[in-house]
Structure 1
Amino acid sequence: MGEPRGPSFLPGRPPSGFGPPVPPETSYPSPYAAPTPQPPPAPPPRSPRKVSPLVAAVLAAVLAGGAAGYAAGAVGDEEPAAAAAGPDVTGLEAVAARVLPSVVSIETAEGQGSGFVFDERGRILTNAHVVAGSSEVSIELQDGRRLRAEVLGDDPASDVAVLEPETARGLRAAELAAGAQAKPGVGDTVLAIGSPLGLSGTVTSGIVSALDRSVRLGEGGERRRALQTDASINPGNSGGPLVDADGRVIGINTAIATLDQQRGGSIGIGFAIPVADARAAARAIID
């Protein structure tokens, strides 16, 4: 006290009684609406004018539910060789669709957070501050199933905890980055996935803003190195994965910087525990 420290670092669990915001109802014209039929064009003049083409790019993100549906165009009888192309399931949309089934929402008597399946036994990685004081928690999968999970152990110094669900049936492990893959570069694209404010299956995108930031992790934890990202992270994202553009987990979202402790929210500065540190802590807990 008495010495300014700059932004406060807060874990991503919401305060008691803080509910999800209700988004405003806004309607937009469909970008896929059929054009109004026009009469046949007149014959072109001798010196036709050049018309600049309009180039439009559409980026689709999977934001909820853990599953994406894709509609393919029907083939017309008069043009059997031509088929309407469906959405190109590539890029960040494909990454989100691949990782979301491994992400879970975690509910405790004290609050809510996120986690993800990290091994073939269905065990789950999350933050120690998410499950602090709990021996058993409730998890919700992306398909809506609810399971009980035992807290195998936690490491408050690293802010890592391991959960074991009552069954591994239907659980799919996320891919953890290893070796050089676990060392992202500044400017690399990343996705943060979790349940901010209880909104399960939320995906946000950004970049790696900095490496090896010294951040106080957990509640009263020690200062540890962390990845900094501008991907939106809010209360409830804690314990969820930060993944690279190939869908590999490179960190655990754990804290944010905020200018107001009472109304903390994303200001574009979030922190994640590097996956190598999280893996080492998890192994120590399991062993």
Structure 2
Amino acid sequence: MRDSHPRSGLGEPRGPSFFPGRPREPAEPLAAAAPAPSAATPQPPSPRPPRSPRPLAATVLAAVLAGGLAGYAAGELGGEDPAPAATSAARDPGDLQAVAARVLPSVVSVQTDRGQSSGFVFDDRGRILTNAHVVDGSSHVSVELQDGRRLSAEVIGDDPDHDVAVLEPETSRGLRAADLATGTRPAVGDTVLAIGSPLGLSGTVTSGIVSALDRSVRLGEGSGGGQRRALQTDASINPGNSGGPLVDDEGRVIGINTAIATLDQNRGGSIGIGFAIPVGDAVAAARTIIDGG
């Protein structure tokens, strides 16, 4: 299942293209062992066998391996202590596991007539934030919680200009609001997690960093969508992630995943450039929707 968002790159999901490799050439028979050369008779150098063309992938792999070995040799033979690894300041993977475990109960899958997308609980009344293009004019949708429960939810309203919609489920029992980073501003290079239901795979977690701030991105569809600022991330985001949270390494929501860049409109998929609505902008739009403004 998928959400439809053609103007922002969320095209129809398909599998990766398959490029068949070259057929493997039959192995040459082993040559018979040549007699040992006489010490008194100089032997002409053996002719070097002609090189057969190699596929591009093999060439790239060789270059990568060569670069890795060269770096290793330089570190071993340079005579100076190697520089500290860049990963020394990275968070322990266990920390990110804990972050994911803390946020997942607040994330839901949103089911509409058009497909399945994502959302998250954002206040103590159990109301849910998602994208306006996810609900697409629906008055009621179905939401699935992480524990498998399904609830009916009313669409209180939406704001196509900011691509934000608010849902109110039939009960708030068992729903836990996510922590919102409304009072802080992320920085380029911050670790982030994107959580949602890409291609219908609920509870999917991907990691990356904040790649840029205040990108001007077209949000929403039709005449209502406009250029708005967005966070750019390289965390893998695919159709179905729309409406799900982008969280920092403290588990606080910093944005709503809403769009991806793609090289092919008809085969949309993550190429490492995704966009999220800043949480402060999203919450402000949500409050206006709730207040009926």
Instruction: Note whether the superposition's TM-score is higher than 0.5.
Output: yes
**Aligned residues of 2:144 and 2:151 also touching (Cα < 8 A):** yes
Shift of 1:90: 3.8
- Report the AA paired with residue 257 of structure 1: A
Q: Give the match for residue 240 of structure 1.
A: 244
Q: Give the match for residue 119 of structure 2.
A: 115
Equivalent in 276, 282, 286 of residue 280 of structure 2? 276
Q: Give the match for residue 80 of structure 1.
A: none
Matches of 1:258 and 1:19, distance apart in 2: 13
Matches of 1:90 and 1:229, distance apart in 2: 22
Report how many residues are paired: 210
Q: SS where residue 258 of structure 1 aligns?
A: coil
Q: SS where residue 147 of structure 2 aligns?
A: coil
Q: Give the match for residue 219 of structure 2.
A: 217
Q: Give the match for residue 163 of structure 1.
A: 167
Question: RMSD over aligned Cα, in angstroms?
Answer: 1.9
Matches of 1:19 and 1:236, distance apart in 2: 13
Runs ≥4 residues deviating over 3 A:
18-21
Question: Deviations along 1:210-242, whole A, 9 cap, x unmatched?
Answer: 000000011131000000000000000000000
Q: SS where residue 281 of structure 2 aligns?
A: helix
Q: Give the match for residue 32 of structure 1.
A: none
Q: Give the match for residue 95 of structure 1.
A: 99
Question: Deviations along 1:224-282, whole A, 9 cap, x unmatched?
Answer: 00000000000000000000000000000000000101000000000000000001000
Matches of 1:269 and 1:90, distance apart in 2: 26
Instruction: Give 5+ residue unaligned stretches, structure 1.
Output: 1-7, 22-56, 58-87
Question: Deviations along 1:120-179, whole A, 9 cap, x unmatched?
Answer: 100000000000120000100000000000000000000000000000000000000122
Q: SS where residue 206 of structure 1 aligns?
A: strand
**Is structure 2 residue 145 aligned with structure 1 residue 141?**
yes
Instruction: Give 5+ residue unaligned stretches, structure 2.
Output: 1-5, 17-86
Matches of 2:260 and 2:160, distance apart in 1: 17
Q: Give the match for residue 35 of structure 1.
A: none
Equivalent in 185, 191, 194 of residue 192 of structure 1? 194
Shift of 1:11: 5.5
TM-score between the two structures when normalised by the length of structure 2: 0.69
Kindly, what percent of the aligned residue pairs are identical?
A: 80
Matches of 1:114 and 1:174, distance apart in 2: 14
